[in-house]
């Protein structure tokens, strides 16, 4: 049975737009009518997730995301997706508030890498996501050793996310690859793009192989959860 997807969006706006593109590109469909029904509710006013998690802001994004999800349910959404990895720090509280299934791209990414026999994976994500340990815990549970950037390289990741992509500027690819290389030297076989702004970099600029885009994992999960077939594996992007 086909289901309607609800997207808790605007976190940030460009990532939500790209998520819609991924859903279209990754669905095995020959006509317009064979694509899924999806409702995007873009709420860019939702407080910054990383700032709250790091104690730099007392504006809690949870009530905003919960309200957005509940409104999507009222509009008929039976499956929910959030194209923002840091937002999944609030996954248990959000899933408890919804009747609809809330997809989890964090565990999905770890399970996909495990299926490929990966033993060690690097993580590029926000400070908030790394501090909460979302990807580290999921990878460890899947028997994969997580590798995170050192302090200097993590500051560069945050600069690319906030000062470049979120500001509508192209990312510094030399910096991007320096971060990835430093983790590969430490044994990372794949690098997880664990922030949707990093997914935007993958979409807009050529980054090469050896990366797993967590937002593409989310798109594939949404396609399957709504009763459709995936045309392109996230590992093939």
Any domain includes 236: no
Q: Has 84 been annotated as catalytic?
A: yes
81: phi then psi, degrees, rounded to nearest 5? -135, 145
172 and 190 co-located in one domain: yes
For residue 109, is pLDDT > 90? yes
Any domain includes 237: no
Any domain includes 167: yes
35 and 136 co-located in one domain: no
Any domain includes 156: yes
Q: In this predicted structure, what is the pLDDT of residue 98?
A: 98
13 and 50 co-located in one domain: yes
Which helix (DSSP H) or strand (DSSP E) does residue 145 occupy? Answer: strand 145-147
Any domain includes 61: yes
Number of domains in the chain: 2
Q: If you ran DSSP here, which 8-state letter would residue 143 be given?
A: T
CA dist list (Å): 99 to 85, 94, 165, 199: 21, 10, 34, 29
Q: Has 175 been annotated as catalytic?
A: no
Any domain includes 221: yes
Are the beta carbons of 131 and 156 closer than 8 angstroms?
no
Cβ–Cβ contacts within 10 Å for residue 151, how many?
6
136 and 41 co-located in one domain: no
100 and 110 co-located in one domain: no
> What is the average pLDDT across 130-140?
96
For residue 107, is pLDDT > 90? yes
> What is the average pLDDT across 156-170?
94
85 and 113 co-located in one domain: no
85 and 138 co-located in one domain: no
Catalytic residue, candidates 79, 84, 103, 132: 84
pLDDT tens digits, one per residue of 54-77: 999 999 999 999 999 999 999 999
Catalytic residue, candidates 112, 132, 195, 214: 195
Are the beta carbons of 122 and 110 closer than 8 angstroms?
no
Q: In this predicted structure, what is the pLDDT of residue 237?
A: 86
Q: What CATH number does residue 50 fall under?
A: 3.40.50.1860
Burial of 222 per CB tally in 10 Å (0-12, 13-18, 19+): buried
Are the beta carbons of 211 and 235 closer than 8 angstroms?
no
Any domain includes 204: yes
Q: 11: domain range?
A: 5-104+217-231
168 and 121 co-located in one domain: yes
Q: Which of these, 127, 185, 181, lies nearest to 154 by C-alpha position?
A: 127
């Amino acid at each position: 049975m086909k289901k309607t997807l609800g997207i808790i969006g605007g976190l940030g706006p460009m990532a939500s737009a790209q998520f819609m593109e991924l859903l279209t590109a990754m669905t095995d469909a020959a006509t317009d009518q064979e694509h899924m029904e999806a409702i995007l509710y873009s709420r860019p006013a939702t407080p910054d997730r990383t700032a709250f998690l790091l104690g730099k802001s007392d504006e809690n994004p949870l009530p905003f995301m919960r309200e957005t999800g509940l409104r999507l349910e009222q509009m008929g959404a039976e499956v929910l997706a959030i194209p923002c990895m840091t937002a999944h720090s609030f996954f248990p509280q959000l899933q408890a508030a919804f009747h609809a299934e809330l997809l989890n791209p964090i565990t999905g990414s770890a399970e996909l890498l495990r299926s490929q026999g990966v033993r060690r994976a690097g993580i590029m994500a926000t400070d908030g996501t790394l501090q909460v340990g979302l990807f580290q815990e999921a990878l460890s549970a899947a028997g994969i050793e997580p590798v995170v950037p050192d302090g200097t390289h993590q500051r560069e990741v945050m600069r690319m996310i906030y000062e470049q992509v979120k500001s509508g500027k192209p990312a510094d690819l030399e910096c991007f690859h320096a971060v990835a290389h430093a983790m590969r030297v430490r044994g990372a076989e794949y690098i997880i793009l664990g922030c949707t702004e990093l997914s935007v970099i993958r979409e807009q600029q050529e980054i090469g192989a050896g990366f797993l885009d967590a937002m593409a994992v989310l798109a594939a999960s949404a396609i399957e959860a709504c009763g459709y077939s995936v045309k392109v594996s996230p590992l093939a992007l």
